[in-house]
Chain A
């Protein structure tokens, strides 16, 4: 399968921990990367590989993977974390065939 499935919406209370998940067959073989997109802005890479953060991404963002599920965890969510989050992986065939999840709208209450 070339699909990645995300919950459409998730909410979290300010300062609490939230996990955003991504499911797909390709995740059994390949790591997901995660992107944050705020309204009117380009996406920003927040997690890649096993659990790597680009420079400038706060350490409250972390990634993990188990079986066919990848997770993005925000520990101590802040108001500025409210955004759409997308996972991405290769196609399960291993070709450089980008597959994005449908996105999760995170609301910080």
Chain B
């Protein structure tokens, strides 16, 4: 079945690094834009980053620009988020999602179950 499974979350100290992974199955991963979205405890959704199907295009929220890097390996059906210089405010559940992209809208149609990242000393 169509599935996204995140991994790599955990507890990290401020200033530290973490790499999240997202394994895709059940659909043609290489055809889709992909995205990371996060949700701080008790808060709303916050878009983090996009990557195009061929990796030629990436974009980031201002809050993570210069610290996070999105990448993908279509041969491995995998999406990644390298997070450096982590801050307490990066504490959140991180979701990966596939993206339907058209001229008039984007839609996050498949979501993973999320992985928790806690930044604390």
Contacts and interface: CB of A to CB of B under 8 A. Distances in A.
Interface of A: 29-33, 35, 37, 42-45, 48-50, 54, 84, 86, 88-90, 95-103
B28 interface: no
A56 B50 CA distance: 26
Given A90-B106, A96-B50, A101-B44, 17 more contacts: A33-B106, A37-B45, A43-B95, A45-B108, A48-B105, A48-B107, A49-B102, A49-B105, A84-B44, A86-B44, A88-B47, A89-B106, A90-B105, A95-B59, A96-B106, A97-B47, A100-B44
Contact of A31 (B46, B59, B104, B108): B104
Nearest to B47: A98
* Consensus secondary structure, chain A interface: loop
B55 to A, nearest CB: 14
A29 B106 CA distance: 12
A103 B105 CA distance: 19
Contacts of B114: 42
The residue among B57, B99, B104, B107 with the most chain A CB atoms within 10 A of its own CB is B107
A42 B113 contact: yes
B46 A42 contact: no
Contacts of A99: 47
B32 interface: no
Given A96-B101, A103-B44, A45 B59 contact: no
A18 B73 CA distance: 43
Given A42-B114, A95-B59, A98-B37, A30 B105 contact: yes
Interface in B33-50: 33, 35, 37, 44-47, 50
Contacts of A102: 44
12 contacts: A29-B104, A44-B111, A45-B109, A48-B105, A48-B107, A54-B109, A89-B105, A90-B106, A97-B61, A98-B47, A100-B44, A103-B44
A64 B47 CA distance: 23
A97 B59 CA distance: 7
B104 A96 contact: no
